[in-house]
């Protein structure tokens, strides 16, 4: 049975598929097939096959049209960007029922909204960039690549260039580049960019300004441009110059500091070593940098023996300073030096310890000066004692020597007693020399200086000291040797002591070289002398030398290694040279001899002529007043004066002497001279008594006499009103010479 449903095929693609009428065939074997009287089963099957064929044809055409529509809808959705519709997810019925016009309308609405949103974002971005362009501190210049013309500049660039924006735009960029930078311009040498390059910019007034600039290539309005940004570094350059100047000043300061300076980082690694530190440690800046300070500055505390670096680092780590008065520095060579040091932390702005600075000083010279001061104190202490002993001893010697000199006058030549008297006198003179050595390093050992040449003193003292010795000697003195301000007697004693000491060091014989040279002591010299011109006298021997343990004590009073030595030779020599504003030093190597060096201040004056002395007694007449607290001195003086023809009168102290003098003047029997002792225990001494006498009688003639030289009067007697001086002990011949000059030769 066949059921036929009319349909019409669409004439063109896209017609409404709902208008199609499809003939549906009834499947074979269906129980409800139509039947009729005229139905023929064969015809029915034929018709059914035809229907099936037509049905397949219609289905194929429908699938083709659906595929076509799906492709077009997909294109539409792709072009319009309608995101909610995905064609592959639509069934055939929904796909056929789509509204293309509606789709287009929705898509255009979405596109317009998107365009408006994009435009707003672009405007906001442009405004943001313009704000940055206008307000950024860096100068920005936009340059067209084609002709290198400036297209735009920001206010910062215009301010640095010093011209209005309108006058800069349109100018070639080369106008604002320094001539020496032309070859480095990225637009001229073919480079497309530069990154943080230092250049010079020319302002509108022609001033050159250092800048750091960066140039990159960009597209602007579709054409290539260069975008140049730069920063004015004038202030930075000035700061760099100031920093360099400060660094140089710091470097000069560190180099000129007399103390050693070492700086380290927080780990104790050396950063800087100044010149003094290089000299003291033996490490140069290049060698020390980067090393641990423990390797470079090897010191231990002199008191505790603890490593100073360990001790200091514990304190520095907590921000405390460290001061060590006495430490021992071991130099790179292994030599040890006494030093004092101070260490302080270096802190940053947050008070964190970032390093340390160590300042240290060589104490070698200070120790030497301390030893000199200690030696001087010893001499001063002994001098006080020696002066007291010498005063009393000289009074005794005055009596002994004076009586011997008188006794010799009473003995006829050839008598046996004369030899004994002469021997006793010689012994007394040797005792006087010993006393003089005591006085030399006592407080009163002031030298009586005059300008003299040292040449004769060297010759005479050396030859006298070596008389009868098996030692050769050589004297080396330049022709232009300077003169010196000195006490000839005392310096002769120094040379005699040094030469005699050298002779005794060469029991088997040898050679002594005595030399003198001109020398100038500079400021900060490693010697305890004032800067200036000096004569350096050297006494060098080839003897056994001085043991190291003995060397520091050779100038100590009463220190001697000789069986018959007094221990006063070198001590008195040291005192004499010190009183001449000089110094004496020694260098000795056991087994290789010793060299003593004496420094005496030089004089620009010519040497004074040496006066000849007469040995004959000169008689006189007149009354002589003798003031002395010692009876034996008064007694011997009275006999000497009587022998010389004078009439002596005696006084015990200054008060009694003044009374005697005034009483004699009132009677018309004045004294021709007054001989006064300087020191009167418990009474008026010669200085005050002479001052009082001059008030009463300006023409009074005084002769100062003392065996205790604690006062500069003996060296400069005329400044205190005296007319002459005679030092105890003295012989009658010496008293005669003084009285001749004061009484006889003076009208």
**pLDDT tens for residues 385-412?**
766 777 777 778 888 888 888 888 778 7
H/E segment holding residue 44: helix 41-80
Per residue in 555-589, pLDDT (tens digit) is: 766 555 554 444 566 777 888 888 888 888 888 88
Q: How far apart are CA 620 and CA 646, in angstroms?
A: 6
At 701, is the pLDDT very low, low, confident or very high (cuts 50, 70, 90)? very high
pLDDT recorded at residue 625:
93
Q: Which of 282-286, 300-304, 311-315, 347-351 has the lowest mean pLDDT?
A: 311-315
pLDDT recorded at residue 3:
38
DSSP letter at 714? G
pLDDT recorded at residue 526:
67
Higher pLDDT, 701 or 524: 701
Per residue in 10-40, pLDDT (tens digit) is: 444 444 444 344 444 444 444 444 554 555 7
| 3-state class percentages of the chain: helix first, strand second, coil last, to nearest 5 | 45, 20, 35
Higher pLDDT, 477 or 83: 477
The CB density around residue 79, as the number of other CB atoms within 10 Å, is: 10
pLDDT recorded at residue 703:
93
Which residues neighbour 11 within 8 Å (Cβ) at sequence distance 6 or greater? none
pLDDT recorded at residue 404:
84
DSSP letter at 177? B
pLDDT recorded at residue 389:
73
CA distances from 715 to 267, 632, 688, 725 (A): 66, 25, 17, 9
The CB density around residue 574, as the number of other CB atoms within 10 Å, is: 26
Kindly state the average pLDDT of the residues 108-115.
78
pLDDT recorded at residue 382:
66
At 693, is the pLDDT very low, low, confident or very high (cuts 50, 70, 90)? very high
Per residue in 136-152, pLDDT (tens digit) is: 888 888 888 888 888 88
At 598, is the pLDDT very low, low, confident or very high (cuts 50, 70, 90)? very high
Q: Domains (ranges, CATH) in the chain?
A: 1-98 (no CATH), 136-232 (3.30.450.20), 239-362 (3.30.450.20), 446-603 (3.30.565.10), 623-744 (3.40.50.2300)
At 440, is the pLDDT very low, low, confident or very high (cuts 50, 70, 90)? low
Kindly state the average pLDDT of the residues 707-724.
77
Q: How far apart are CA 398 and CA 730, in angstroms?
A: 6
pLDDT recorded at residue 536:
92
The token pair at 14 is 């896209």
Query: How does the average pLDDT of the chain come out, rounded?
Result: 78
pLDDT of 182 strictly over 80: no
Percent of the chain past pLDDT 90, that is, above it, reads 10
Which residues neighbour 220 within 8 Å (Cβ) at sequence distance 6 or greater? 142, 151
pLDDT of 444 strictly over 80: no
Q: How far apart are CA 411 and CA 405, in angstroms?
A: 10
H/E segment holding residue 48: helix 41-80
pLDDT of 279 strictly over 70: yes
Is residue 687 within 8 A of residue 720, CB to CB? The reply is: yes
Kindly state the average pLDDT of the residues 516-526.
82
Per residue in 73-92, pLDDT (tens digit) is: 666 666 555 445 555 666 66
Q: Which of 34-38, 95-99, 590-594 has the lowest mean pLDDT?
A: 34-38
pLDDT recorded at residue 659:
93
- The dihedrals phi and psi of 298, each to the nearest 5 degrees, come to -90, 100
Is residue 197 within 8 A of residue 212, CB to CB? The reply is: yes
pLDDT of 311 strictly over 70: no
At 194, is the pLDDT very low, low, confident or very high (cuts 50, 70, 90)? low
pLDDT of 626 strictly over 90: yes
pLDDT recorded at residue 80:
55
At 673, is the pLDDT very low, low, confident or very high (cuts 50, 70, 90)? very high
For residue 235, the number of C-alpha atoms closer than 13 Å in the C-beta half-sphere is: 3
Is the omega angle on the peptide bond into residue 550 within 30 degrees of 0, that is, cis?
A: no
Kindly state the average pLDDT of the residues 475-490.
85
CB environment 500-534: b (16+ within 10 A), e (fewer): bbbbbbbeeebebbbbbeeeebeeeeeebeeeeeb
pLDDT recorded at residue 711:
58
pLDDT recorded at residue 460:
82
At 652, is the pLDDT very low, low, confident or very high (cuts 50, 70, 90)? very high
Kindly state the average pLDDT of the residues 100-112.
68
At 674, is the pLDDT very low, low, confident or very high (cuts 50, 70, 90)? very high
Higher pLDDT, 116 or 104: 116
Per residue in 353-376, pLDDT (tens digit) is: 888 888 898 888 888 777 767 766
Long-range contacts (CB closer than 8 Å, 24 or more residues apart) made by 398-401: 398/632, 398/633, 398/636, 398/707, 398/728, 398/729, 398/730, 399/632, 399/633, 399/635, 399/636, 399/729, 400/424, 400/428, 400/729, 401/425, 401/428, 401/429, 401/432, 401/729, 401/730, 401/731
């Amino acid at each position: 049975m066949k059921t036929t449903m009319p349909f019409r095929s669409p004439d063109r693609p896209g017609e409404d598929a709902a208008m199609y009428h499809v003939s549906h065939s009834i499947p074979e074997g269906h129980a409800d097939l139509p039947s009729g009287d005229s139905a023929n089963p064969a015809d029915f099957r034929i018709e059914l096959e035809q229907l099936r064929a037509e049905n397949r044809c219609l289905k194929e055409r429908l699938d083709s049209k659906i595929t076509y529509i799906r492709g077009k809808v997909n294109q539409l959705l792709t072009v319009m960007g309608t995101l909610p519709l995905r064609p592959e997810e639509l069934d055939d019925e929904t796909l056929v029922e789509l509204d293309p016009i509606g789709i287009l309308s929705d898509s255009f609405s979405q596109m317009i909204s998107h365009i408006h949103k994009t435009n707003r974002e672009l405007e906001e971005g442009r405004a943001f960039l313009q704000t940055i362009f206008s307000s950024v501190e860096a100068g920005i210049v936009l340059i067209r690549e084609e002709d290198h013309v400036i297209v735009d500049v920001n206010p910062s660039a215009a301010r640095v260039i010093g011209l209005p924006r309108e006058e800069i735009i349109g100018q070639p960029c080369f106008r604002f580049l320094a001539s020496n930078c032309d070859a480095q311009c990225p637009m001229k040498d073919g480079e497309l960019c530069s990154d943080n390059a230092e250049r010079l910019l020319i302002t509108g007034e022609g001033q050159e300004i250092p800048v750091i600039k960066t140039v990159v290539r960009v597209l602007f309005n579709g054409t290539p441009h260069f975008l140049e940004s730069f920063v004015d570094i004038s202030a930075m350059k000035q700061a760099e110059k100031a920093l360099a100047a400060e660094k140089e000043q710091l470097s000069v300061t560190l180099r000129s500091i007399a103390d050693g300076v070492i700086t380290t980082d927080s780990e104790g690694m050396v950063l800087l070593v100044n010149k003094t530190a290089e000299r003291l440690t033996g490490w140069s800046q290049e060698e020390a940098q980067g090393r641990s300070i423990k390797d470079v500055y090897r010191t231990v505390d002199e008191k505790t023996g603890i490593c100073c670096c360990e001790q200091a680092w514990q304190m520095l780590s907590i921000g405390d300073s460290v001061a060590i008065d006495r430490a021992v520095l071991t130099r790179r060579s292994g030599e040890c030096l006494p030093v004092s040091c101070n260490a302080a932390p270096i802190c940053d702005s947050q008070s964190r310890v970032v390093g340390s600075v160590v300042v240290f000083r060589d104490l070698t010279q200070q120790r030497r000066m301390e030893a000199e001061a200690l030696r001087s104190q010893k001499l001063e202490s002994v001098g006080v004692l020696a002066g007291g002993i010498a005063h009393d001893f000289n009074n005794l010697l005055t009596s002994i020597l004076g009586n011997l000199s008188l006794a010799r006058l009473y003995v006829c030549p050839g008598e046996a007693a004369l030899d004994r008297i002469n021997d006793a006198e010689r012994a007394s003179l040797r005792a006087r020399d010993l006393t003089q050595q005591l006085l030399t390093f006592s407080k009163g050992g002031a030298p009586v200086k005059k300008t003299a040449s040292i040449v004769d003193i060297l010759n005479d003292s050396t030859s006298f000291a070596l008389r009868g010795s098996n030692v050769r000697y050589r004297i080396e003195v330049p022709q232009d040797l300077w003169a010196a301000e000195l006490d000839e007697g005392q310096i002769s004693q120094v040379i005699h002591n040094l030469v005699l000491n050298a002779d005794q060091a060469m029991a088997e014989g040898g050679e002594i070289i005595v030399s003198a040279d001109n020398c100038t002591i500079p400021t900060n010299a490693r010697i305890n002398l004032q800067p200036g011109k000096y004569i350096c006298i050297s006494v060098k021997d080839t003897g056994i030398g001085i043991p190291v343990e003995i060397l520091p004590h050779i100038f100590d009073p009463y220190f001697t290694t000789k069986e018959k030595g007094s221990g006063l030779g070198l001590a008195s020599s040291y005192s004499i040279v010190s009183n001449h504003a000089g110094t004496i030093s020694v260098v000795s190597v056991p087994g290789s001899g010793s060299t003593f060096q004496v420094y005496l201040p030089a004089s620009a004056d010519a040497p004074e002529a040496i006066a000849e002395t007469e040995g004959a007694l000169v008689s006189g007449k007149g009354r002589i007043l003798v003031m002395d607290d010692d009876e034996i001195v008064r007694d011997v003086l009275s006999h000497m004066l009587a022998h010389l023809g004078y009439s002596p009168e005696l006084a015990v102290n200054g008060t009694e002497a003044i009374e005697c003098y005034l009483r004699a003047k009132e009677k018309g029997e004045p004294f021709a001279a007054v001989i006064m002792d300087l020191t009167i225990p418990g009474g008026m001494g010669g200085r005050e008594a002479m001052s009082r006498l001059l008030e009463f009688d300006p023409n009074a003639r005084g002769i100062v006499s003392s065996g205790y030289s604690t006062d500069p009067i003996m060296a400069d007697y005329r400044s205190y009103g005296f007319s002459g001086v005679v030092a105890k002990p003295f012989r009658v011949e010496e008293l005669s010479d003084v009285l001749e000059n004061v009484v006889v030769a003076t009208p």
